[in-house]
Structure 1
Amino acid sequence: MDDISTRCIDIIAKSKSISPDTITPASTFDELNIDSLDKINISFEVEEAFNIEIPDDALNTLKTVGDMIDGVTRLTAAHHSTTISTH
């Protein structure tokens, strides 16, 4: 598993007080008992950890841990390319 996946899973595990070994990219937020408030809190942690900004409307589209990992991967890539081009 890559660094983004590991870090996202660790953030989710910590927020829900569960073992990261029980979480996979295929895990759904429903299975993990993650409600809308949990999603908001997790998104704040993810934004801080990766120095990105997750659009509010994107939170509603996240159904699995894999969805979150994919979104963070895209946002960090876009942020990285913006950072490089502005220097």
Structure 2
Amino acid sequence: MQSEQLIQKVISIIAENQYIPQEEISLESEFEKLGIDSLAALGIIGEIENEFNIIIPNDKAFLITNVRQLVESLEEFLSTATTHTS
């Protein structure tokens, strides 16, 4: 999945999960400014894990506080999964 597609998919998941219009979410959006607390963020990360069939360890998940960090973590785990299955 290309990076722009990945960004749009993550934004879509956040928007659907939190009932926020997609146009209000950008790569630079901070979860706190979107009204997303830590529990809601873990719910979003859980949806991401299900969508992409990956597991983001809790110690990493708790450090994710914005959309960019979520996308970068996802890219990292997807590339690791691809490397391990190749």
2:36 aligned partner: 34
Give the drift of 1:25. Answer: 0.8
User: After superposition, what is the alpha-carbon deviation per residue over 1:26-59, rounded to whole angstroms, capped at 9, x for unaligned?
Assistant: 0001011111110111111000111110110112
RMSD after superposition: 1.0
TM-score (norm 2): 0.92
Equivalent residues in 2 for 1:7-86 (5 A)?
A: 7-84=9-86
Q: 1:60, 1:40 → 2: CA distance?
A: 8
Aligned length in residues:
84
Which structure has more helix as a fraction of its residues? 2
Q: 2:62, 2:42 → 1: CA distance?
A: 10
Structure 2 gaps of 5+ residues are none
TM-score (norm 1): 0.91
Structure 1 gaps of 5+ residues are none
Q: Percent identity?
A: 29
Give the drift of 1:61. Answer: 1.0
